Structure 1
Amino acid sequence: MKQELAWEEGIAKGAAVAAWRLPHGEEAFLLQDFSGGSILEEGWNLADLSAGFLAAPFIGLPYFLQADSVTSFPLHSAESSKPFDAPVENLAKKTEFMGWVSEAIAAIKQGPLQKVVLSRTDEQDLPADFKVMTALQELGAAYPNAFVCALSIPALPGVWMCATPEILVEQNAAGIFRTISLAGTQSGVDADGFGISPSQARWSQKEIEEQAFVSRYIIDCFKKIRLREYTEIGPKTISTGNLLHLKTEYIVDTKAMDFPQLPGLMLGLLHPTSAVCGTPKQEAVEFISRTESHDRSMYSGYLGPVNLGNATHLFVNLRTVEIKENHAVFYAGCGITEDSDPAKEWQETQMKCQTLQRILMQ
């Protein structure tokens, strides 16, 4: 596979390399920054960047990969038909995570914290013949409406991969800006292994309220920049492979409004969103930092191509795995409100980890 060779050769030469496929795309792209990429300085501006690729951690400044080389290749691999045996639950991690959730519920009841998103990790070994570009092909086939990506930066250990359904900031060549609120999760597969239609989904008050927090957060950001003209679509149920979510979409015609700086402004206001952090933001960040025992690093940050073909596509880095040789660290999180059930939240993270595990561990 030519792209596998290009990927491995780029890494061997010290380049920063990103490969991705946009949702519903028919081809993937491989970008190389021969200098190894760079960390942007405080005060950086999205509109001032050259064509390239951005990758930001949960907290901290983003890495920028300039487009020294960009090639495209078709996605043609079919989804693996091998049966998936879910990994055995790690009882120690389960006990720890459920304890965090209980602490969060207690904190929310006391206020002012209203919602917090807690995450955890699941460590597994990958097959000995694991190949990054082959896995990217299979992820693209399995999750056609997700942004699938593989990223290698010399300053970061290992390779990061994701299959995320969540747009953070997107603007096409026609100047149409989009962002979404995506929250609330349930299995997209029934007890017999068959897919559940979005029209069959039934949502609890907890899940509806969890998604509403994210929607209100976006609207509050619009208010801060005095943006009143936008289209709101949803909430509606969407399918992302093995999961169902609630989604609301927000659309702005930046050319009609003469507002070209909107993507950069919204990126600065949105990240980290209520969907990966919580409400109020500062209280949620503080709770996460003193509770989670792992470093999120690039998980729940954002990534994607910028200013390529006069378009920018940045996605929240969800359904994420960090790969070092053949060892994988899967990341997953869930939104906690006062109505949360620790056992159900654990199960939600299990389903989210399996989004990648069912493809990468075959």
Structure 2
Amino acid sequence: MARQLDIPLTGIAAALDALRPWTERAAERARTLGRPVLAAVRVPLDPADDLLAAALACPPGVPRWYLHQPAAGRTWLGLGAVAAVRPGPACALGGLADAWQAWRPLVETDVPEALHWVGGAAFDTGPRLDPWRGWPSAEMWLPRVMFTRDGDEAACTVAVQAVPGQSAAEVWAAAADGWQRWSGVPPERAEDPGARLSAASLARSDGDRRPGTAFEDARDRWMRLVAETASAIRAGRFDKVVLAREEVVPLGRPADIAAALRALGRRYPESGVFALWRGDQCFLGATPERLARVGTGSVEVDCLAGTAPRGRTPAEDARLADWLLHSGKNLHEHSVVREWLRARLAPLCTHLEIPAEPGLKRLANVQHLHTPLAGRLRAGQNILTVADALMPTPALAGSPQKEAMAYIRDREGFDRGWYGGAIGWAGMDGSGEFMVAIRCALVGSVSAHLYAGAGIMGDSDPAAEWEETVLKLRPMKQALGLEVGDDGGES
């Protein structure tokens, strides 16, 4: 049983006490301006708090956003929503920038740097189809409660919205009542390892390779599409197209989300482990790829394209790494993405630094060609404008972008939803960080939808591209207990 949330509750109580004078100021400004005003405070917490348990303690209807970066020692958890912004139907993150920044002067707080808007965006702005119905093309919201842990420091930020006509007492009572309704819900029970989902309790997945199975049919269809796409690239229609596939696994029992997220954090510490809950669905994953990080006038972007498996021995691992660093197909694929990123970032920056040759980013199951890009931003740019300019990169869509996107919509046959999109946060000063939502799954009450893709070039081998997606699906399969790890246990 996950422990009771006594320390977070204590932090909330302290924050609510500290919030009283700020609600008075917010209520007065809302009355004067005739529009809503935010109030917020931050109090310290014990860094030993189990933030994942706090996420699972909330009722299903409460918006929840979780990001854990094990290697950096950072964890973020946003609960509830005080304010939210969505773009129009044909816009993504860039359509949020003005509405989000409009809140900046409408905050009563002594810690404006503690206000972090969280959310993300879909891969494509088209209409959402099952299982993504109800998910917007993009959304950012200010959590009612934000827990943050950075190394040995932890804090809790509580925010509330004052609307014209409300008294300060009513504003504060709304904040206190909202938390009291949440805090009466006990944490979910952590299932015993023996009770976790297993391949035996579910429909067959990629582990069943017998001819004539659904696996074989799906592989044949996908390989035919890869061959057709490679032919179109050789004919000059595209430079590159990233094809993805969706694997749907019926669930015999509810997935153990807590166990999955903890397993991903242990096995992939260099990745960003994320989760967003919406209704009875949870979108979760462990992504190795940063879309963009923006600080005070600076931007950092990852170019991650080109993949090889990890070796079972140091010698085999080194051989595979050397092959990847000299693979013509993978180097070409990587250069297409790198040059596209350069072209998109250049108008936003006064200066860009890009290494001449890619290095390696090694994960537990695969290794990628990796080039970090860094630059100084021009005035007026922020994390949302930068992220919008980069979505989706050729690492997830292809090049030319518009033509590749149209081809994907026409040929893939399913809605990627937020797979291939972005997950992240934005500070009111324009800073923030977004991760590319890959190595992920959308888990509902009766099924899990897993996603993986591969960059197709003119000389792509369909069988090799299929095996690449098998490798990329493995992290989520093992974390959810759908596949046994190489060490004989579930990761």
- What TM-score do the two structures reach when normalised by structure 2? 0.64
Aligned to 1:45: 97
Shift of 1:220: 1.2
Structure possessing the higher radius of gyration over alpha carbons: 2
DSSP 3-state at the match of 2:207: coil
Aligned to 1:10: 58
Shift of 1:194: 9.4
Shift of 1:152: 1.0
Aligned to 1:150: 275
DSSP 3-state at the match of 2:416: coil
Name which of 226, 235, 248 aligns with 1:101: 226
Alpha carbons of 1:127 and 1:18: their partners in 2 closer, same or farther (altered >3 Å)? Answer: farther
Conservation of the 8 A alpha-carbon contact between 2:63 and 2:278: yes
Identity of aligned residues (%): 24
Q: Does 1:346 align with 2:393?
A: no
Partners of 1:199 and 1:262 in 2: CA distance: 39
Deviations 1:65-90 (A, max 9, x none): 21211124699xxxx9x9x9863241
Unpaired runs of at least 5, structure 1: none
Query: Within 5 Å, which residues of 2 pair with 1:121-160?
Result: 121-125=246-250, 128=253, 130-154=255-279, 158-160=281-283
Partners of 1:338 and 1:310 in 2: CA distance: 40
The aligned amino acid for 2:139 is: Y
DSSP 3-state at the match of 2:265: helix
Conservation of the 8 A alpha-carbon contact between 1:37 and 1:153: no
Conservation of the 8 A alpha-carbon contact between 2:243 and 2:454: yes
Q: Does 1:284 align with 2:417?
A: no
Partners of 1:226 and 1:158 in 2: CA distance: 36
Aligned to 1:186: 308
**Structure 1 or 2: more helix by fraction:** 2
Alpha carbons of 1:305 and 1:284: their partners in 2 closer, same or farther (altered >3 Å)? Answer: same
Aligned to 1:273: 393
Q: Does 1:317 align with 2:437?
A: yes
Q: Does 1:164 align with 2:292?
A: no
Conservation of the 8 A alpha-carbon contact between 2:290 and 2:435: yes
Deviations 1:287-319 (A, max 9, x none): 101110211011001111221797411011100
Conservation of the 8 A alpha-carbon contact between 1:32 and 1:65: no
Shift of 1:336: 0.4
Shift of 1:45: 1.0
Q: Does 1:67 align with 2:190?
A: no
Name which of 299, 302, 310 aligns with 2:419: 299
Deviations 1:219-242 (A, max 9, x none): 11134x174511113410110221
By relative contact order (CA 8 Å, sep 6+), the higher-ranking structure is 1
Shift of 1:36: 9.2
Deviations 1:28-67 (A, max 9, x none): 2210124695533453217717621121011123121212
Deviations 1:91-117 (A, max 9, x none): 111011001101101211222311100
DSSP 3-state at the match of 2:323: coil
Conservation of the 8 A alpha-carbon contact between 1:149 and 1:163: yes
Shift of 1:193: 10
Alpha carbons of 1:126 and 1:198: their partners in 2 closer, same or farther (altered >3 Å)? Answer: farther
The aligned amino acid for 2:228 is: E
Partners of 1:345 and 1:283 in 2: CA distance: 21
Unpaired runs of at least 5, structure 2: 6-50, 104-114, 126-136, 152-192, 200-205, 210-214, 482-489
Conservation of the 8 A alpha-carbon contact between 1:52 and 1:306: yes
Partners of 1:327 and 1:303 in 2: CA distance: 22
DSSP 3-state at the match of 1:245: strand
